Structure 1
Amino acid sequence: MTDQEILAEVEPEPLFAAELFGDRIEIARRYAHHLATTGVEWGLLGPRELPRLWTRHILNCAVVAELISPDDVVGDIGSGAGLPGIPLALAQPAARYVLVEPMERRVDWLTMVVDDLGLDNVRIVRARVEDLVDEEVFTVVTARAVKSLAVLIEWCAPVLGPRGRLLALKGASVEDEIVKARKQIRRAKLNQPTVRELGSPPLEVPTRVAELVRH
């Protein structure tokens, strides 16, 4: 398929996008273009995701920005196609973001996209989060479609600073994951998770976030 044919498959931009991104909407549109073209070509996003590119991916992530403070340092674990890190960096540009991704091909794509978008509040680290202990400290860690909550806690708790927060974007099974992660929550000295539903309306399906705060 040509780029023109690919872009014809992309979900029309919802009106909500301009409200959410404000004066950075043009950058968000460029990011959407990258996801739909090079993101699909490089295998970071499946072509079947194009008809829900904005609502299921970009805006689904960007609504989490209301949980990010301007002085936060956010580690986006297993960033992949920059989700949720890049939409968050656009929606809350005062904070700083570190996209943590171990796979070279994905790091190359992220580097290309971040450079093209001119995101000076974003840096990229090629690593597993487990290898960043004593090298990075985050006030917030985000993760989307990475691992179960129990595994995420084991991986991410060591890089969370005092009162640091883990924001895990989860699906309908989030409550079951919380039950299965009880031991890890207690061991990592995290408060009982708060499940937040964000963005609905106008998003038809809200974004579910399990928020865990370090004691």
Structure 2
Amino acid sequence: MSTILRDELSSELSAGCAELKLEVSEQQVEALCDYLELLAKWNKAYNLTAVREPSAMLRKHLLDSLAIAPLLVGERLIDVGTGAGLPGVPLAILYPEREFHLLDSNSKKTRFLFQVKTALGLDNMSVHHARVESFQAAQKFDAVLSRAFASLDDMVSGCRHLLAPKGQFLAMKGIWPEEELAAVAKVCDILSVTAVAVPGLPDQRHLVAMVLRDQPAA
């Protein structure tokens, strides 16, 4: 990535964070750009995302992930089906005081994430290569986060064993997921469905927050 392109992306990223009303330091902007540069580089060989252009990655991946930051809950979160680290990596950079676990069954993607963790020094981020159904954590999570991982019904059935008591499911969706919400209405209380505006993207985005009606035992 050329210095000129990186400077342009850095400026757009800073402007996008300002539009989202996020307080981001120069060091965090640099770390986010480092992640973007690694993603663009590794994507050529590992096919981590169908988005190829760094400028499109910035809007469709980084800013899309950061747009939900004000809606996060809890101190210990797991990003299920994280893929190339979205939204987990940008959020781990933004919130160093929180603990993020990134889970994916694709070994190419988790190898990339280990590289990101090392290169960026993200001590608050852990990477797990496993299927969600078989993954067991020593400590449950305040929030289970997903971005285009599965339907709400599949998310609840596949991830409920990961939730701490009173923990929340946080599902990133495109258009208002009316049918999916109806499918989980018997097992979950829907806390909110919040419209999220992503700088530079006209597409609809929503974050669904849910809790299990029958909470897991402590």
TM class, shorter-length:
0.7 to 0.9
Cα pair distance change 1:21/1:38, threshold 3 Å: farther
What residue ranges of structure 2 are gaps of 5+ in the alignment? 214-218
Matched, 1:181 2:184: yes
TM-score by length of 1: 0.83
8 Å contact kept, 2:75–2:99? yes
Give the residue type in structure 1 aligned to 2:22.
L
Distance 1:56 1:157 in 2: 28
1:96 Cα deviation (Å)?
0.2
Spell out, residue by residue over 1:1-20, the C-alpha distance to the aligned partner (whole angstroms, 9 max, x if none). Answer: xx55xx69x96734123663
Distance 2:147 2:158 in 1: 14
2:56 equivalent in structure 1:
52
Specify which of 86, 109, 112 is matched with residue 109 of structure 1. 112
8 Å contact kept, 1:79–1:99? yes
2:101 equivalent in structure 1:
98
Give the residue type in structure 1 aligned to 2:171.
A
Deviates more, 1:30-39 or 1:14-23: 14-23
Distance 1:113 1:191 in 2: 36
SS at 2:189's partner residue? coil
8 Å contact kept, 2:175–2:204? no
Matched, 1:131 2:134: yes
8 Å contact kept, 2:77–2:100? yes
Give the residue type in structure 2 aligned to 1:126.
H
Alignment RMSD (CA, Å): 2.5
1:174 Cα deviation (Å)?
1.4
1:179 Cα deviation (Å)?
1.7
Matched, 1:22 2:21: no
1:197 equivalent in structure 2:
195
8 Å contact kept, 1:68–1:95? no
Distance 1:203 1:22 in 2: 20
Give the residue type in structure 2 aligned to 1:115.
T
Specify which of 40, 45, 49 is matched with residue 41 of structure 1. 45
Give the residue type in structure 1 aligned to 2:154.
V
1:141 equivalent in structure 2:
144
Report the identity percentage: 29
8 Å contact kept, 1:76–1:143? yes
> Which structure's residues are more often helix, by fraction?
1
TM-score by length of 2: 0.82
8 Å contact kept, 1:40–1:47? no
Distance 1:48 1:141 in 2: 28
Residue-pair matches, total: 204
What residue ranges of structure 1 are gaps of 5+ in the alignment? none
Distance 1:119 1:43 in 2: 23
1:210 equivalent in structure 2:
208
